[in-house]
Amino acid sequence: MNSDPAEFLQEAHRLDQAGQWDRAAEAYRAYLEFQPGDAAVLADFGGLLWVSGKLEQAQELCRRALSLDPTCPGARINLGCILVQQRQFDEAEGLFRRVLAADPTRNDARLALAEGLMKKGDLEAAMAALKRALAQEPGNPEAHKLCYRILAHGGDRPAACQEILRWFAHRGESGEPEEQWELSNISLLFGDMPRGWEEYEARLRRTEGSKPQAHPDHRRWEGGPFVGRTLLVDWEQGLGDTLMFVRYAPQLKALGGRVLWSVQPALADLVATCPGVDEVIPMGEPLPPFDLHVPLLSLPLIFKTDLPSIPAEIPYFKVPGQVPNRQRLSEVLAASAGRIRIGLAWAGSPVHVRDRERSMPAAALEPLAALQGVSWHSFQLEPLEELPLPGVIQLAPLLSSFSDSAFAMTAMDLVITVDTALAHLAGALGIPTLLLLHTFPDWRWFLGREDSPWYPTFRIYRQPNPGDWASVIQRVLADLGAGS
């Protein structure tokens, strides 16, 4: 690029739309060196920083834009969205409504208002705002998607399913796998497992997500005995999914053949301890001969799993024989002998699509400091935030494998965690666990339940409103005997 400000701006917009945010940020900065008082561009740059997760910098730019032009709609909307994420709902609502007062046709502001009201927990007001948006743009697919989310939050499964159909109809795409995927998530979330597992097969046709390996020269197993033959089960999706669905190993083995399990390398030693697992092949290593194959998450459909028949015998993992940091972990754990050991994990992988919803800030755990006689053990690998709890033992430097994590976890009296792979590990090991969930969780945790049919040692604590971790922690504190 040369030194023409207009070209810098054109390049910034092009890169922004292409999702090349780091390069777009450089172009925005270059333009603003020439035009530091351009409020609209400051707002656009703030929006880019917001979607890339740099909230403080994004807010600073949007507020600077409003100091230059208090009526700048882009700055108001982007700042409002940032404030919603920070749970400052009232200020955000005011910003959105001021945009709409000046220009009632700004449906981007109306949709942002509806989403903010939904996350605040005011579903009635959110739906009212959304109906006005749909009256103005009946074919807006994002409005139908948001309508589906509001209805699902409110527990209206039939209406939510209808909104998914409208969403895809207005997208103008065939979208069948994606549509069935969304429908499967709603069916499973509401406990309609027979229908949900059927629809869940659409995941294999989606363009997104981790897929199991393809084996065009081998027949897919659809159920039934396979005596004298070898079946390969292929992993898919995340570490938590593998930990959760390896539970079907005993049922598979009972059908008479040899069962091989292809899994993520990090889980190989742990999965090998599950009853019914004949051999584990870490992903990337050569596969031994086999006759049949099946994707891991198709097992619930094949076994016709419903709520009463979920295989929930725990523990179904043991601590592997080889624990890399066994001695050092033993030394660290010995220091807390005689105290109540509680393990903590407050955030999942930052690259997860719903990480902002399922993870909580470490600061939200501060009220737990009121508990007496507790030795706190952090299982958090990233982000490594400082916990506001007394005498926290940071286990992360010693957790080089899931074998290490399993060894340390079996020494805990209790685990408190959000929805992470570590939650599945605790459940599969049979550790008493308090699971902290967003108000609209992943399908496997259902809605409204305080228990988990998948993990009998779980007790579930759900946000009463989106983002309200404070209420969750207060309920935990009360149940553990330290609440007021």
HEC assignment per residue over 178-239: HHHHHHHHHHHHCCCHHHHHHHHHHHHHCCCCCCCCCCCCCEECCCCCCCCCEEEEECCCCH
In this structure, the chain runs to a length of: 484
Q: Are residues 330 and 287 in the same domain?
A: no
- Token pair 């997208």 is at which residue? 171
- 346-350: average pLDDT: 79
Structural domain containing residue 412: 326-479
- 101-119: average pLDDT: 93
pTM for the whole thing? 0.75
Q: Are residues 296 and 420 in the same domain?
A: no
Q: Are residues 338 and 424 in the same domain?
A: yes
Q: What is the pLDDT of residue 352?
A: 61
Whole-angstrom CA distances from 34 to 28, 29, 63, 141 are 10, 9, 20, 38
Which one, of 192, 180, 277, lies nearest residue 233 by Cα? 277
Q: What is the pLDDT of residue 120?
A: 86
**Confidence bin at 1 (pLDDT 50/70/90):** very low
**Confidence bin at 174 (pLDDT 50/70/90):** very low
**CATH number assigned to the domain comprising residue 224:** 3.40.50
Q: Which among 309, 338, 355 is the end of a domain?
A: 309
How far apart CA 94 and CA 108 sit, in angstroms, is 15
The SS3 call for residue 36 is coil
Radius of gyration of the chain (CA): 25
Residue 196 located in a structural domain: no
Q: What is the mean pLDDT of the chain?
A: 89
Task: Mean pLDDT check: name the lowest of 148-157, 333-342, 456-465.
Answer: 148-157
Please give the structure tokens belonging to residue 293.
């194959």
Residue 253 located in a structural domain: yes
State which amino acid sits at residue 254. A
Residue 10 located in a structural domain: no
Residue 180 located in a structural domain: no
Please give the structure tokens belonging to residue 460.
């579930």
Q: Are residues 245 and 371 in the same domain?
A: no
- Beta-carbon contacts of 161 under 8 Å, excluding residues fewer than 6 positions away, are 183, 186
Of residues 175 and 291, more confidently modeled: 291
Residue 182 located in a structural domain: no
Task: Mean pLDDT check: name the lowest of 155-169, 205-219, 388-402, 440-454.
Answer: 155-169
Q: How many C-alpha atoms does 151 have within 13 Å on its Cβ side?
A: 18
Which one, of 40, 104, 51, lies nearest residue 73 by Cα? 40
Q: Give me the number of domains the chain comprises.
A: 2
**Confidence bin at 123 (pLDDT 50/70/90):** confident
Q: Are residues 461 and 332 in the same domain?
A: yes
Q: Are residues 359 and 247 in the same domain?
A: no
Q: Are residues 345 and 439 in the same domain?
A: yes
**Confidence bin at 176 (pLDDT 50/70/90):** low
Q: Which among 256, 283, 309 is the end of a domain?
A: 309
How far apart CA 435 and CA 418 sit, in angstroms, is 6
Is residue 170 pLDDT above 70, yes or no? Answer: no
Are 361 and 383 within 8 A, CB to CB? Answer: no
Q: Are residues 337 and 414 in the same domain?
A: yes
Q: What is the pLDDT of residue 171?
A: 60
**CATH number assigned to the domain comprising residue 456:** 3.40.50.2000
Of residues 8 and 272, more confidently modeled: 272
Q: What is the pLDDT of residue 2?
A: 54
Could you write out the three-class secondary structure of 59-99? HHHHHHHHHHCCCCHHHHHHHHHHHHHCCCHHHHHHHHHHH
As a whole-number percent, the residues of the chain with pLDDT over 70 amount to: 92
